[in-house]
């Protein structure tokens, strides 16, 4: 069954806006399951301080995140197509870069950037479903939730914002990234049927 799922997912495209804690971990999960085309955008480079939660390695420090992540995605699944965009996403380039995507994962860190992306995607790429992450800081055990709307899904604890006393840490960032990946699969596989 798992091979049939991977074969089925080969035809889909998922966009990932931001290759940090949410984006890098979500991308890896989607690559492992076989999503055929992954579009990643990020303007940043890998820094030592990212390694506490992001899917990068010591020998990748200094590389553009999109380049490092493409390497890592191909290490887990050599057959997928990765399209990288090593620039800041703006309302001008978002519609074009993600035009082919069935699903777009919002994986930014700053709230104003999340807002910019969400308003742009919902208005200008109406066929795509946007999956956002909100509320993942610290190490409290606040329950996670998922809210589902038309073409918009929001995953997170809806409460814990990153600040000086509440840093982003691997477990809760990872949980939200996996929730986003699972929501993506749930949409992509809605018409999947197992062949005997």
Partner 1 sequence: MKINLNNREATFEVTDLTIAEVISTCNFTYKRLVVRLNGKVVRSEDHEITRVNDGDKLEVIHLMAGG
Alpha carbon distance 105, 111 (integer Å) = 15
Nearest CA among 6, 62, 57 for reference residue 31: 6
Query: Would you state the structure tokens that stand for residue 94, as one six-digit string?
Result: 């978002």
Q: Which listed residue (69, 114, 155, 188) binds partner 1 by CB under 8 A?
A: 114
Q: Which listed residue (6, 51, 152, 170) binds partner 1 by CB under 8 A?
A: 152
CB of 108 to partner 1, least distance (A): 5
Alpha carbon distance 180, 29 (integer Å) = 10
184 sits in which H/E element:
helix 170-188
Please write down the HEC assignment for all residues of 170-181.
HHHHHHHHHHHH
Q: Which listed residue (160, 174, 179, 183) binds partner 1 by CB under 8 A?
A: 160
150 binds partner 1 (CB under 8 A): yes
178 binds partner 1 (CB under 8 A): no
185 binds partner 1 (CB under 8 A): no
Name the site residues for partner 1 (rule: CB under 8 A): 18, 20-23, 106-112, 114-115, 118-119, 122-123, 132-137, 147-150, 152, 154, 156, 158-163, 168, 173
């Amino acid at each position: 069954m798992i091979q049939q799922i991977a074969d089925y997912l080969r035809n889909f495209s998922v966009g990932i806006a931001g290759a940090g804690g949410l984006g890098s971990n979500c991308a890896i999960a989607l690559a492992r399951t076989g999503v055929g085309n992954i579009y990643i955008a990020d303007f940043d480079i890998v820094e030592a301080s990212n390694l506490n939660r992001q899917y990068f390695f010591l020998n990748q420090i200094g590389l553009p995140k999109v380049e490092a992540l493409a390497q890592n995605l191909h290490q887990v699944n050599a057959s997928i197509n990765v399209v990288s965009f090593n620039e800041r996403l703006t309302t001008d380039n978002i519609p074009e870069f993600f035009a082919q995507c069935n699903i777009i994962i919002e994986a930014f860190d700053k709230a104003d950037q999340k807002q910019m992306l969400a308003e742009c995607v919902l208005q200008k790429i109406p066929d795509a479903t946007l999956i956002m992450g909100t509320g993942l800081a610290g190490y409290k055990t606040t329950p996670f939730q998922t809210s589902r709307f038309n073409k918009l899904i929001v995953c997170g604890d809806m409460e814990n914002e990153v600040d000086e006393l509440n840093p982003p840490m691997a477990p809760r960032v990872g949980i939200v990234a996996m929730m986003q990946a699972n929501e993506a699969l749930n949409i992509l596989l809605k018409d999947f049927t197992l062949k005997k």
